[in-house]
Structure 1
Amino acid sequence: MHHRILELYSGIGGMHCAWHESGLNGEVITAADINTVANEVYKHNFPNTNLFNKNIQSLSAAYINQLNVNVILMSPPCQPFTRNGKFLDESDTRADSFLYLISILDQLSNIEYILMENVKGFECSIVRNIFTKKLQECNFDFQEFLLSPTSVGVPNSRLRYYCIARRCSKPWNFKTKTEIVECLPREFDEPYCIECILEEEVSDKFLLKDQQLKRAKVLDVCHRDSRRSCCFTKAYSHYLDGTGSVFTEASRELVEKIKNASASELGSSEFIQPLRELKLRFFTPQEILALMSFPKDYSFPETVSTKQCYRLLGNSVNVRVISELLKILFN
C-alpha cells in the first residue's frame, strides 16, 4: 500500500527522514510548522514537499480530509510538559494546537495510523489522558513508549515519549501492553563509538572560550571511544550545564585530573592554560545531526547560523528511534 502522510510540527524534517529510513512505501504529502527558520531548513532538504508555514489550528478537518492522507506523524510542542516550561499542561497555550487536533480526530475518517513524539513527562500529563481517551473513542489500538537512542545502538541519551496508534480494523502483529514500554521488541547492537560521527576538520570557532573553561567541572566530556553522550538541547553552546556533551582528543586521565581540581583552582588564571591544552570543543551541527541519525546527505543551508542550528536540533527528533517505531506501527 502507498501511504499518504501528513507531517505536523514538522520542524527540520526528522519524521520525514525516519519515514525514508524505515523503507515503508509512501510519501509526505504535506508538512506544516510555524517556525520560519525550521521551514527554511526543511525546504532545503525536501524541496518537492508541500510545506505550510501555518498554525496547526488553521487546518480544518475538511481540509485534512481533502488531502486524502491516512498517516499523521507529529511532534507537538513539549514546553507544556517540562520543568523549564513550568509544567502548565493543558493550561499552557502552546498545547492548544495539539488539543485542537485531538478534538477533530473523530472527523478525520481517513486517518489509519498515528505516530506522536514528545518529551518525557508527557506521560504524566492531563493532555496525555485526553489524547489516549480520544484514541480509544476513535477505535485506535495504541502503544506508548519511553525510549532513548542508546536502546537502538546510537551513542546519545535523549529519553522521549512516543505513542503509535492504528485503527482497530487493521490487524496488528505487535502485541500491545497497557503499561508504557521501555524497550523495543528486538535487540540492537551496543552503541557505536563517538569516533564514527566526528568531522575530520573542525574550525577553532567550536573551541570553548576561557570564560567557559572556568566552568569545566559541569562539562560532560566525550572521547573518540565514548559510547554515550548527553541529550543536546536548544541552549547548547549558550549554557554549559545539562545542554549537551563536549569533545576532546585528550586522554581521560588528563580530563579527570583537571575536573577533580578544586573550584578555586579552576577559576584561577594559572589553571586556564592546561585547560586550553585539552582543546575542549563543542560538537558541530553536522556531528549532532549524525548523533540524531539524520542521513549523511542532510544539510543546513548556509543562511542558517550555527546558533540557529543548535536551537533547531534541540527541538528535533532521533530519526532511528522513530524509524524503528514506524516498522512496528506498519507491521
Structure 2
Amino acid sequence: MRAIELFSGIGGMHFAAKECGLDTNIDVVLSVDINPVANKVYEHFFPSTNHKELNILSLKPEQINAYNPDILLMSPPCQPFTRNGLVKDVDDERAKPLLHIIENLIPYLQSLRYILVENVKGFECSVARNKLTTTLNQSGFTFREFLLSPKHFGICNSRLRYYLLAKAKPLSFNIAIQNEIVCDNTWDTKLCKSITKVSDVLCERGEDLEKYLIRDDLLLKYYKVLDVVTRNSTGSCCFTRSYGTYLRGTGSVFSSLDDQQVKQITNCENCDLESLKNLKLRFFTPAEIAKFMCIPITNFPVSDKKAYQLLGNSINVYVVSRLLCLLLS
C-alpha cells in the first residue's frame, strides 16, 4: 500500500501507519509540509522517506499520480475551524491548501482508493467539510465521519478530534450509515493498555526536571485554574501548541504528591506561596506529552518550546492507527 502524507508535521500519520500492524505494509512514498521546523523533526525520525518542503498549493495531479498512491493521509491546519479562534473557515488563508486538495487533486488521482483526514471538533460543521464530502461523492467515494478522543480507547488524555475515512467504491464500510457522525469506538474492541494512567508517561529518571517547575509568580496567579494531575490520575487535558508558555487551558500540569494532598492545598481559600511550592507543580516534558499521544519519541532535535508547538499540532497515533485498520479492513 503506497501512502502520501500531506501536512505531515512531525510524522504522526507515518507513526500510525507503522503502528496499525496490518498484514499489508503501508509505505509512505511521499510526505509534504511547509514548516521547516516540523520538517527537521520529521526527517530526524524518517530519514529515508521522500520528504518535500513545499507549499501544497504548488502540487499538481500529475505529480501525485506519478507515485501511484493507494492512500492519502492528511491533517490540515485546524486554525480556520477551531472554536477558540475566529472560525473564518474557507475564508482563512490557511484553508487554501485543503481547498486545493479538494478541488484540484482528489478528483484527478487515478490510483487513490483510501483517504484519512484529521482535524479539530468544529470541522464537521464547516463549509470546508461540505466541500470535501461533495467532492468525495462526486469522485465515487463512500465515507464515514467520527468524533473521537483517546479516552475512548483507554488512554488517559482528552483530545477530541474529527476524523473522516473514505473508500473508493465498490469498497465499503461495515459500520454506521453515511452522514451520521460516529462518537464512540464500539466498532473497535482493541483498547490501548500501555497509557492508562499518568504514571505510564512519566520520564523522571535521568532527566533534569527542575527546569519544568512552574515559576512562583505564575503559581500564585493561576493555581486556581490549573488542571493538576498526579501519578494515579486516569485523565489529563488536551495539550495545545501554547503549552509551556501559557498556563490557562493549554494542558494539565503534574504534581508528585498524591490526590488527597493536592486537594488539601489547592482547596484552601488563600493559598500562600510556600504551600503552593509544596505541590512541586511542573509542566510535562515534550517526551511525556509524546507518550500521552502515543508517539514513540524520547527526544526532539529542537527546543522544548518548538517541541510543544509541534506536539500541539500533532495527532494521537494510537487513535489514528485504529482508524487506519478500520479503513483498510
TM class, shorter-length: over 0.9
C-alpha RMSD over aligned residues? 1.4
- 2:295 — aligned with what? 294
Contact 1:142 1:176 in 2 (8 A): no
- 2:33 — aligned with what? 33
1:111 shift after superposition: 0.9
What secondary structure sits across from 2:305 in the alignment? helix
* Equivalent residue runs for 1:221-236 within 5 Å: 221-236=228-243
1:324 shift after superposition: 0.3
- 1:194 — aligned with what? 198
Q: Structure 2 CA distance, aligned partners of 1:164 and 1:128?
A: 13
Q: Structure 1 CA distance, aligned partners of 2:4 and 2:18?
A: 14
- 1:163 — aligned with what? 164
- 1:210 — aligned with what? 216
- 2:42 — aligned with what? 42
Q: Structure 1 CA distance, aligned partners of 2:176 and 2:161?
A: 21
Q: Structure 2 CA distance, aligned partners of 1:239 and 1:21?
A: 32
The answer to whether the aligner puts 1:14 opposite 2:16 as a matched pair is: no
1:212 shift after superposition: 1.5
What secondary structure sits across from 1:80 in the alignment? coil
1:211 shift after superposition: 1.3
What secondary structure sits across from 2:146 in the alignment? strand
Amino acid aligned to 2:311:
L
Q: Structure 1 CA distance, aligned partners of 2:16 and 2:173?
A: 21
Q: Structure 2 CA distance, aligned partners of 1:93 and 1:232?
A: 25
1:170 shift after superposition: 2.3
Q: Structure 2 CA distance, aligned partners of 1:5 and 1:279?
A: 45
Q: Structure 2 CA distance, aligned partners of 1:70 and 1:252?
A: 49
Amino acid aligned to 2:130:
N
* Equivalent residue runs for 1:50-199 within 5 Å: 50-104=50-104, 105-184=106-185, 185-189=187-191, 192-199=196-203
Give the direction of change, closer, same or farther, for the CA distance of 1:175–1:121 in structure 2 (3 Å limit).
Answer: closer
Structure 1 unmatched runs, 5+: none
1:67 shift after superposition: 1.5
Q: Structure 1 CA distance, aligned partners of 2:190 and 2:102?
A: 34
What secondary structure sits across from 2:156 in the alignment? coil
Q: Structure 2 CA distance, aligned partners of 1:241 and 1:323?
A: 31
1:228-268 Cα shifts (integer Å, max 9, x gaps): 00000001011111100011111222222222223xx24xx
1:175 shift after superposition: 4.9
- 2:21 — aligned with what? 23
1:173 shift after superposition: 4.1
Q: Structure 2 CA distance, aligned partners of 1:221 and 1:11?
A: 29
What secondary structure sits across from 1:244 in the alignment? coil
Contact 2:142 2:172 in 1 (8 A): no
Q: Structure 1 CA distance, aligned partners of 2:110 and 2:103?
A: 13
1:181 shift after superposition: 0.2
The answer to whether the aligner puts 1:242 opposite 2:242 as a matched pair is: no
Q: Structure 2 CA distance, aligned partners of 1:289 and 1:231?
A: 12
Contact 1:6 1:73 in 2 (8 A): yes
Structure 2 unmatched runs, 5+: none
Number of equivalent positions: 320
1:172 shift after superposition: 3.9
Contact 1:45 1:299 in 2 (8 A): no
What secondary structure sits across from 1:28 in the alignment? strand
Contact 1:21 1:323 in 2 (8 A): yes
What secondary structure sits across from 2:158 in the alignment? coil
Amino acid aligned to 2:39:
N
Percent of aligned pairs with the same amino acid: 48
What secondary structure sits across from 2:147 in the alignment? strand
Q: Structure 2 CA distance, aligned partners of 1:259 and 1:187?
A: 38
1:298 shift after superposition: 5.3
Give the direction of change, closer, same or farther, for the CA distance of 1:298–1:17 in structure 2 (3 Å limit).
Answer: farther
1:187-238 Cα shifts (integer Å, max 9, x gaps): 3558611111111334200111101211111110111111100000001011
Amino acid aligned to 2:232:
D
Q: Structure 1 CA distance, aligned partners of 2:119 and 2:298?
A: 23
Q: Structure 2 CA distance, aligned partners of 1:299 and 1:11?
A: 16
Q: Structure 2 CA distance, aligned partners of 1:236 and 1:173?
A: 39
